[in-house]
Amino acid sequence: MPTSHAPAPKSHEPAPPDPATGTAVAAYPTGPTGTGPASPLGPADGTTLPGGTTLRATVDALPAPRRTARPRRFLMCPPAHFDVRYAINPWMSGDAPVDSVRAARQWEALAAAYRAHGHTVETVAPEPDLPDMVFAANAALCLHGKVFGSSFHAPERRPESAAYEKWFAADGHAVRRPESSCEGEGDLVPVGGLILAGTGFRTSRAAHAELQEFFGVPTIALHLTDPYFYHLDTALFALDDENVAYHPEAFSAGSRQVLERLFPRAVHATRDDAMAFGLNSVSDGRHVFVAPQATGLIDRLAQEGYVPVPVDLSEFHKAGGGIKCCTQEIRS
Ligand code: ARG
């Protein structure tokens, strides 16, 4: 393990990768410890030094910076009633029935992984007849202690809004329910003083406007074009307050350009990694809770100095969900 001035991790860092399989995941303890800015040195790109090297090349040659975790508060819904009973996205074919015992085990492993890395996990009581209620991310966007709730696109999911509003009320939060279709963190990703807001399948442009008015935070519309990536959180996640990982082909040409401008050093994921729910990940700034099937992305994240923590939620993939979908972040 590296020597570090950072506080000791609450639990073990993941084991180094198995050189035989390459599947695992690593602390990659090769980077500097606690030195240097985490941010890219974008503006210096292309500057030529005496001798002919460009500064960009010099920067790229540096090891990845040591990333810093910030403890989070998460809301999750136990999968007691999780099932695939209707089809509102292309993943929900119902071909493979949900194994509820396995789903419960996988969900517990995710909650345990969060806790082991110093995060708080709260739970909301699951309600019968709401098989998608387990996807807590869709319930709201909670930012600066204010809660913008959900108005689900599909009638089958609409009763979930009230169930979550009850939890937020008990937690001391009034919830503003959007007037038009809006599916919470499924489509709304806060990063670095902006809210990235997906549209095209679920959340409407009208909801983006309402949201911007509610939070007073600049809201950037991103158009999703591939039905397999029907929510923004299936195609993009925030690595920290400065950077994101995403799959460019999930977006319209204009939205891709917007992402390029905003995040020139983003981590790009392949379609295979995105189809493995690799972008439905949760990052605390250092640890990235990620689908183990997204092997290419896991390697890229490790190269960038993040610590991938693989958690398999394959039962939830049958409903079109993964790690992030099961996780609502409560930001005070
Ligand atoms: N079956 C659910 C739906 O289609 C899955 C939701 C996944 N949640 C997410 N945040 N992407 O609505």
What does the pLDDT look like over 208-260, one tens digit per residue? 999 999 999 999 999 999 999 999 999 999 999 999 999 999 999 999 999 99
What is the CATH code of the structural domain delimited by 73-329?
3.75.10.10
State yes or no: is 231 an active-site residue. yes
Question: How many Å lie between the centroid of ligand 1 and the Cα of residue 307?
Answer: 26
Kindly report the pTM of this predicted structure: 0.84
CA 244/CA 223 separation, integer angstroms: 16
Burial class (CB in 10 A: 0-12, 13-18, 19+), 92: middle
At position 183, the amino acid (one-letter code) is E
Q: Which residues of the chain have pLDDT under 70?
A: 1-61
Task: Output the residue whose Cα is nearest ligand 1's atom 8.
Answer: 325
In the block, residue with structure tokens 């640890």: 287
CATH 3.75.10.10-classified regions of the chain: 73-329
Tell me whether residue 182 is one of the annotated catalytic residues: no
pLDDT of residue 164: 98
Which residue, by CA, sits nearest to atom 7 of ligand 1?
321
Annotated active-site residue in 77, 142, 182, 325: 325
* Nearest residue to 38 via CA among 70, 8, 72: 70
Cβ atoms of 290 and 74 closer than 8 Å: no
Q: Over the stretch 61-75, which tens digit does the pLDDT of each residue have?
A: 678 888 999 999 999
Cα separation, 229 vs 224, whole angstroms:
7
